[in-house]
Structure 1
Amino acid sequence: MLVGMLGILKAGCAYVPLDPTYPASRRDYMMADTGMSQVITQSGLAGLFADLDVTRIVLDDETTSRRIASLDMTRLDDKPPSDALAYIIYTSGSTGQPKGVMIEHKGVVRLVKQPGELQMSSATRFLHCASIAFDAAVFELWSPLINGGVSILYPSTDLTLETLNEVIQRYEVNTALIVSGLFDIWSETCSGLAGLRRVFVGGDKLNPAAVIRCQKNLPHVQLYNAYGPTENTVITTLYKLPEQINADQSLAIGRGLKGDFSLVLSQTGSLLPVGVVGELLVGGDGLARGYFNRPQLTASCFVPNPYYDINQSHGPAYLYRTGDLVSYQDDGNLQFHGRVDQQLKVRGYRVEPTEIQFHLEQHPDVRRALVIPAEEANNRNYLVGYVELENDAEKTDTLVSVKYELSQQLPKHLIPSTLILVSSWPLTANGKIDLKKLPKAEVTKDKKSVAPVTQLECQLAELWSKTLDIQKENLCVYDNFFELGGHSLSVMKMVSLASEYSLCISAKEVFAFPVLKELAEQLAERDTQDAEFVVPENR
């Protein structure tokens, strides 16, 4: 696919990355929204687009190879202008549908040709493991290639800690970008990677404890805290982490990149001094063109620079309202303080809770829904959904149906870890939902709970307990891993920890059999089948 993307850009066109793991309805929306006429794909994925009115170009198909070989191979010397569209990446939207962010060539060039700490060279060996539909992939792919370096493509298998470290070691990776949630658990297993030199961490609030662990395991590696919205081409500010930090320290997000422009403004638009919290507005060559087919949303988020002076060239004419609350520190670095609105980051992805609520409320038996973040023990966010059903709805069957329908509409990172039924909504004196009085997403043991009995069930219960930070006594064989707060990163952690309990589990098995009893039965059946195919040695 990388070759296809290079061809698209070389031809002066723009690409729209489609994650094959997304629900078909989401992919279809993105294709319809952009008016996509052609899809470049591979034979193993071509079936995803079989029923759509688009031309499929299957790169690894023999017919396509013959067609390409017959084409004029004269080098294209035409270069697209700097303000030509390079790609459109879709992010979560508050209206119920994702929104396409339009990034121009100059935005990518500004990112990958940065001097200083972001500088790449022919010696760079950059790991690419992010989803192609996640803007981190832009940094992972183009930074090394445009500077003569090497992009190391993670194999098309489950992302596990063991495989991640093996790839870094085997292919001599020296540079990597790791999202904060993954960095938390990777920092526990990252010793012995002698060739690694730089790790950029971003996508969410950075955990100081994870930084300390990583610095202890890899003292030769320089760590960076990278911050930036998709609307300003991946990275907006960068903070070079010092060698000594405190576990309770709030880590800065750093300073803006060369050529960028940042303002910290009050609600009335006044510039704020050091230490005073306000909204961050950013601009420069990295600024997106806007949202595709969303002129009103573009106008509300990409606003005129109130301090722009065309005669003095003081900053760009337009700035992006990030919605992030920050303040300047005495040393000139920015400190992150949260959000102006309800938007949040979950496992590196930007999430609009209202988009999830919209899809929940599309179910005919759901009267009203609310999605809010909850916090894990390691200060990471996960999503909790609250659902009020229509009066005649059967609770158990409806909840199963709601979860299934949601999985058909939204990618995994937008699916709440748990859904909680409410019969009424607690209200404040002002008539708003009182979030503090909503039932908590807690694990409880009811009278119908069945404790683990078999050896496999007991081993899994211990493994789940350690992974999810839940008392083993509270676990039932009918518990669902994801309803207990599990998510893709905790699956990775569990798969990594499994060897400590003499278990071998794949992420695919956890997603396919999320109930403890079913997973235990799957593992037992698999081990039995494996034993049947053991060929005895000749005697």
Structure 2
Amino acid sequence: MVPVTSRTAGTVDGLVVRQATRTPDAVAVTHVGQELTYAELVSRAGELAHRLTAREVRPGDVVALLMDRSVSFVVSALAVLMAGGAYLPLDRRHPQDRLRWMVEDAGAVLLLTDGPAAVIDWAGETPVEELGPTSGPVPAPRRLPDPPAHPEHLAYVMYTSGSTGTPKGVANTHRNIVDFVTDPCWDPERQARVLAYSPLGFDSSTYELWVPLVQGGRAVVWSPEHFDVAELKHVIARNGVTAAYFTTALFDTIAHEDPTALAPLRDVTTGGDVLSVSALRRVREHCPRTTVVHAYGPTETTVFCSLQPFAPDFRGALRLHLGTPMRHTGLYVLDDTLRPVPPGGTGELYVSGSHLARGYVGRPGLTAQRFLPDPQGAPGSRMYRTGDLARRESDGTLTFAGRVDRQVKLRGFRIEPAEIEAALVALPEVARAAVALREDLPGGRGLAAYLVPRDQTRQAVDVDEVRRHLSRLLPPYMVPSAFTVLRELPLTVHGKVDHPALPRPAAPAEQGPAPRTPLEEKLCGLFAEILQCPPVGVDDNFFQLGGQSLLAIRLGARIRETTDHAVTIRDLFRYPTVARLAAHLTSDTAANRET
């Protein structure tokens, strides 16, 4: 039985409750053997919603969620919406100071966690409450809290990197999400079982949870410690997953390592950066029944605002562009006077329509700068200034042409270099700093930091301490993989940093001890191959040399291909040097022989 409710179909929780009345016994969420039917999901979320209202959570209030990807998170997010509030997803991998800042900036009235509340000593004045188990007897249905949320009420806040040195919170409403998840592009049969694995503070989690749950599908929650293509393949096959989203960097990695992992899927959506045509072609060749959708959309436009599908029967050239706008959405390419550019012209891309977020939390000035009146729309309508450059081709399609500012995309994450630079110059030994995205780093594309020491006589900066300092302030994806100390930063004639003139970061000058065994020699070669760097020593750390999770996936695959060792992605994170990894693999092999 579903709780008694007066919910409207214009809200996210209203749509989920309506679906629960239609298919109460259908499975809504699964995670590692745990299942909740729609009736159970709504009953558990309703009971938690009553707890939240007892804690005086009111419509419009923000509730922070510090949780792992699990059934508990789905229950909690739905409960916050049922109580009329908005959820703020937090990522445990982020530094505590950054988490506290986001909680305070969003004005959260409560922090809900699936771990022990006592260990969260960084929340300041914000009350912390433990969720408790979401298993056991299902609570008896009862009427959901009143008053219900309105379509214009806030539904969630998600933070992105900010050019002023601090992250900015994007505030999305129920109407934004409902218009996104009810778009006709999401076919219920093709979206019947959606893989939900994205970091909870990543806006693609909106697609992964609410698209299946508003139309009777199933959210298949997957919470890997580290992404592994072989494990992904197993999860998709075991759970009958039909649809998934991957950032372009991850899509490229899967296409390179094992594109057949995606073959059971009916829909694969990818976006967040420039997609490799060769990766797209490789997936299409190995997944003949899968539709690949190339998506575009900043967080401020609620996940995606335009789509370019490549269906199995597509026979044209694989030419990538920004696609077709989703329902109730428009794309404009405008010049500096906000006039449309002619065919063949390049201008700034603006997005209009119902996907546009309310704005930025507590930043009316920035909201006014980025969300402008829509000169082509009805009175009161707005358009979002993306900062992306686009070219209008002669056939009317729009292609990405760069940025008007310094914002960059790395592995699907939007990064403002100015935020990293602000953290660097806060160090007493750093006078000036510049951060750039480079293609020529060990391991390929990554962030490089350039530092000018305050003490010009010593010309030295403790790079290890700088890295530790950034790790205490920024999420891992914003910590540069290379650091270069310069006497001065190159400047343009206007006195600004001349980014094209910044030198290529030098490879590590010192090489550690040479390999001592055939296995160490093999691993040293594979480290250097994947990182595209000079020979490494047995004590060199893969991740300090420029490695990251996607390169670790490739390294693991190469080790498995060229040796007899079944190394896992977890092994590489636990044993990041050749010496430690070789010792682990050798001992593991010996243990297997004894058994």
Aligned residue in 1 for 2:245: 177
Conserved in 2, the CA contact under 8 Å of 1:181 and 1:380? no
Within the candidate set 379, 385, 388, 1:324 is matched to 388
Tell me: CA distance 1:280–1:8, structure 2 relative to 1, closer, same or farther (3 Å).
Answer: same
1:206 aligns with 2:270: no
Counterpart-to-counterpart distance in 2, 1:50 and 1:527: 42
Q: Name the SS of the counterpart of 2:292 in structure 1.
A: strand
Within the candidate set 549, 553, 556, 1:495 is matched to 556
Aligned residue in 2 for 1:349: 413
Tell me: CA distance 1:328–1:349, structure 2 relative to 1, closer, same or farther (3 Å).
Answer: same
Tell me: CA distance 1:494–1:109, structure 2 relative to 1, closer, same or farther (3 Å).
Answer: same
Counterpart-to-counterpart distance in 2, 1:123 and 1:449: 50
Conserved in 2, the CA contact under 8 Å of 1:426 and 1:438? yes
Deviation per residue, 1:442-499 (Å, 9 max, x gap): 53655x66443333322222222332233xx533334442343322221222233331
1:5 aligns with 2:77: yes
Tell me: CA distance 1:172–1:394, structure 2 relative to 1, closer, same or farther (3 Å).
Answer: farther
| Stretches of structure 2 lacking an aligned partner (at least 5 in a row) | 1-72
Aligned residue in 1 for 2:59: none
Aligned residue in 1 for 2:579: 520
Deviation for aligned residue 1:396: 6.8
Counterpart-to-counterpart distance in 2, 1:489 and 1:196: 21
Tell me: CA distance 1:392–1:433, structure 2 relative to 1, closer, same or farther (3 Å).
Answer: closer
Deviation for aligned residue 1:376: 5.6
Conserved in 1, the CA contact under 8 Å of 2:442 and 2:545? no
Aligned residue in 2 for 1:215: 284
Counterpart-to-counterpart distance in 2, 1:387 and 1:417: 14
- After superposition, residues 464-475 of structure 1 pair within 5 angstroms as 464-470=527-533, 474-475=535-536
Conserved in 2, the CA contact under 8 Å of 1:264 and 1:280? yes
Q: Name the SS of the counterpart of 2:579 in structure 1.
A: helix
Tell me: CA distance 1:432–1:52, structure 2 relative to 1, closer, same or farther (3 Å).
Answer: closer
Tell me: CA distance 1:51–1:295, structure 2 relative to 1, closer, same or farther (3 Å).
Answer: closer
Deviation per residue, 1:38-88 (Å, 9 max, x gap): 1221126862457643333322359x999x95x983245754221110000
Q: Say how many residue pairs are matched.
A: 519
Aligned residue in 2 for 1:90: 159
Q: Name the SS of the counterpart of 2:406 in structure 1.
A: coil
Deviation per residue, 1:15-48 (Å, 9 max, x gap): 0000111111110100111222212211268624
Could you state the TM-score of these two structures normalised by the residue count of structure 1? 0.88
| Stretches of structure 1 lacking an aligned partner (at least 5 in a row) | 311-315
Amino acid corresponding to residue 438 of structure 2 in structure 1: A
Amino acid corresponding to residue 34 of structure 1 in structure 2: A
Deviation per residue, 1:238-286 (Å, 9 max, x gap): 011364576xx75112011111122211012111122211111112111
Aligned residue in 1 for 2:438: 374
Within the candidate set 79, 85, 90, 1:18 is matched to 90
Q: Name the SS of the counterpart of 1:152 in structure 2.
A: strand
Tell me: CA distance 1:432–1:453, structure 2 relative to 1, closer, same or farther (3 Å).
Answer: farther
Q: Name the SS of the counterpart of 1:433 in structure 2.
A: coil
Counterpart-to-counterpart distance in 1, 2:565 and 2:315: 37
Q: Name the SS of the counterpart of 1:93 in structure 2.
A: coil
Aligned residue in 1 for 2:306: 237
Q: Name the SS of the counterpart of 1:118 in structure 2.
A: coil
Deviation per residue, 1:63-122 (Å, 9 max, x gap): x999x95x983245754221110000000001111000000001101111011x333359
Amino acid corresponding to residue 354 of structure 1 in structure 2: A
Q: Name the SS of the counterpart of 1:176 in structure 2.
A: strand
Tell me: CA distance 1:227–1:362, structure 2 relative to 1, closer, same or farther (3 Å).
Answer: same
Conserved in 2, the CA contact under 8 Å of 1:41 and 1:59? yes
Aligned residue in 2 for 1:146: 214
Could you state the TM-score of these two structures normalised by the residue count of structure 2? 0.80
Tell me: CA distance 1:148–1:78, structure 2 relative to 1, closer, same or farther (3 Å).
Answer: farther
Aligned residue in 1 for 2:546: 485
Counterpart-to-counterpart distance in 2, 1:245 and 1:126: 28
Aligned residue in 1 for 2:173: 104
Conserved in 2, the CA contact under 8 Å of 1:19 and 1:133? yes
Aligned residue in 2 for 1:402: 466
Deviation for aligned residue 1:296: 0.9
Conserved in 1, the CA contact under 8 Å of 2:196 and 2:222? yes
1:432 aligns with 2:496: yes
Deviation for aligned residue 1:324: 0.6
Counterpart-to-counterpart distance in 2, 1:373 and 1:469: 17
Tell me: CA distance 1:331–1:144, structure 2 relative to 1, closer, same or farther (3 Å).
Answer: farther
Within the candidate set 187, 190, 193, 1:125 is matched to 193
Aligned residue in 1 for 2:375: 306
Aligned residue in 1 for 2:112: 40
Deviation per residue, 1:294-340 (Å, 9 max, x gap): 11111111111133453xxxxx6211100011123344332111111
Identity %: 34
Counterpart-to-counterpart distance in 1, 2:536 and 2:347: 44
Counterpart-to-counterpart distance in 1, 2:232 and 2:85: 33
Q: Name the SS of the counterpart of 2:176 in structure 1.
A: helix
Counterpart-to-counterpart distance in 2, 1:438 and 1:330: 37
Aligned residue in 2 for 1:313: none
Aligned residue in 1 for 2:202: 134
Amino acid corresponding to residue 139 of structure 1 in structure 2: Y
Aligned residue in 1 for 2:426: 362
Tell me: CA distance 1:503–1:73, structure 2 relative to 1, closer, same or farther (3 Å).
Answer: same
Deviation for aligned residue 1:194: 4.6
Amino acid corresponding to residue 337 of structure 2 in structure 1: T
Deviation for aligned residue 1:526: 6.7
Counterpart-to-counterpart distance in 2, 1:149 and 1:502: 41
Conserved in 2, the CA contact under 8 Å of 1:226 and 1:238? yes
Q: Name the SS of the counterpart of 1:17 in structure 2.
A: strand
Deviation per residue, 1:336-383 (Å, 9 max, x gap): 111111001110010000000000111111111100111269997421
1:277 aligns with 2:356: no
Conserved in 1, the CA contact under 8 Å of 2:456 and 2:487? no
Conserved in 2, the CA contact under 8 Å of 1:20 and 1:45? no
Counterpart-to-counterpart distance in 2, 1:505 and 1:50: 37
Aligned residue in 2 for 1:256: 325
Conserved in 1, the CA contact under 8 Å of 2:226 and 2:549? no
Counterpart-to-counterpart distance in 2, 1:93 and 1:465: 34
Q: Name the SS of the counterpart of 1:32 in structure 2.
A: helix
